[in-house]
Amino acid sequence: MAGRERQLTRTFVALADTLAEDFDVVGFLRVLVLNCVELLDVDAAGLLFFGERGSAQVPAFSTERAGVLELFQLGAGEGPWVECLAGRAPVPVADIAAESARWPRFAAEAARQGYASAHTVPLRLRTRIIGALDLFGARPGALGTDDAELAQGLADAATIGVLHERAVRHGKATSEQLRTALNSRVVIEQAKGVLAVTGRLAMDDAFTALRGYARGHNLLLRDVARGLAERELDPALVLARRDHTR
């Protein structure tokens, strides 16, 4: 028991560690499925996952046979994870063969792959679901209550980890975009000042000259502005175009 508790602690720590610069979501989800097999009374585990663009994937599984069964469900559109996602709740299947009328193709494929029971839990956070975790058994039988609760806890921890990593990464991207926009705005204001002083223009007229030069030379406004601000572009050239087009 002590060994299992230590492993359980390590697993939850691993599922919480999503701030590494080289975070790999596939490797992260593989940690989830492999630890489920070691911690729970199951023989294999597989995972259906929705990427950030909504595409369904099968990124992690503990055995090739479990991977085949996951891909089969994805292609056939039937099986416990389909109902799990639709109902947003765990789907216990004590005897897959007994559900052949419910999932005829899945039941047949599960038998071919050597699995007789399943327990599926959603990867969820409140109303948001990013996938489903399938736990397979080689023999019929329901997953115990404690194991079922632990399976959902592990899935919930993984979901929080993935969504947290996405939020941090998107936050960094947004901050960088805002910083870039602000820097561009500052450079443009500097360039307007250079033109206003050189040509004794109002700021609005300086901006018109700046924009006209950029358009006339098929250049980005911020690149022209940076050239003026860093004294790499002669303001007289920008003002000369303005004089020619008035």
Query: CATH no. for residue 102?
Result: 3.30.450.40
Question: What was the pLDDT predicted at 13?
Answer: 59
Q: Are residues 107 and 181 in the same domain?
A: no
Top-confidence residue, 187 or 9: 187
Asked if the model's pLDDT at residue 2 lies above 90, the reply is no
Of the candidates 171, 199, 223, which is a domain's last residue? 171
Question: What was the pLDDT predicted at 244?
Answer: 47
What's the pLDDT band for 91 if we cut at 50, 70, 90?
A: very high
Q: Are residues 36 and 114 in the same domain?
A: yes
DSSP for 111-167 reads HHHT--EEEEEEEEETTEEEEEEEEEESS--PPPHHHHHHHHHHHHHHHHHHHHHHH
Question: What was the pLDDT predicted at 172?
Answer: 60
Asked whether 60 and 29 are in contact (CB, 8 A), the reply is: yes
Asked if the model's pLDDT at residue 205 lies above 70, the reply is yes
Residues with Cβ within 8 Å of residue 148, at least 6 apart in sequence: 90, 92, 119, 121
Of the candidates 146, 171, 196, which is a domain's last residue? 171
Residue 202 per-residue DSSP state: -
Provide the number of structural domains found in the chain: 2
Condensed to tens digits (0 to 9), the pLDDT of residues 124-148 reads: 888 888 899 999 999 999 999 999 9
Range of the domain at 39: 2-171
Question: What was the pLDDT predicted at 21?
Answer: 57
Asked if the model's pLDDT at residue 85 lies above 70, the reply is yes
What's the pLDDT band for 167 if we cut at 50, 70, 90?
A: confident
Q: Are residues 133 and 22 in the same domain?
A: yes
- Tokens, residue 87: 């109902």
Q: Are residues 166 and 201 in the same domain?
A: no
Give the Cα-Cα-Cα angle 12, 14, 16 (nearest 5 degrees).
70
What's the pLDDT band for 1 if we cut at 50, 70, 90?
A: very low
Q: Are residues 165 and 186 in the same domain?
A: no
Asked whether 47 and 133 are in contact (CB, 8 A), the reply is: yes
Condensed to tens digits (0 to 9), the pLDDT of residues 18-71 reads: 555 566 778 888 988 998 999 899 999 999 988 767 788 898 999 999 999 999
Q: Are residues 82 and 181 in the same domain?
A: no
Top mean pLDDT of 85-99, 156-170, 224-238 is at 85-99
Q: Are residues 146 and 92 in the same domain?
A: yes
* Separation between Cα atoms, residue 116 and residue 105, nearest integer Å: 14
Condensed to tens digits (0 to 9), the pLDDT of residues 39-54 reads: 899 999 999 988 767 7
Asked if the model's pLDDT at residue 8 lies above 70, the reply is no
Q: Are residues 206 and 223 in the same domain?
A: yes
Q: Are residues 157 and 183 in the same domain?
A: no
Q: Are residues 85 and 195 in the same domain?
A: no
Q: Are residues 119 and 41 in the same domain?
A: yes
- For 69, phi and psi rounded to 5 degrees? -70, -35
- pTM to 2 decimals? 0.65
pLDDT cut 70: percent of the chain above it: 82
Of the candidates 171, 200, 223, which is a domain's last residue? 171
**Token match 């996602």: residue?**
85
Top mean pLDDT of 5-19, 90-104, 209-223 is at 90-104
Report the CATH number that the domain containing residue 193 is assigned in CATH: 1.10.10.10
Q: Are residues 179 and 149 in the same domain?
A: no
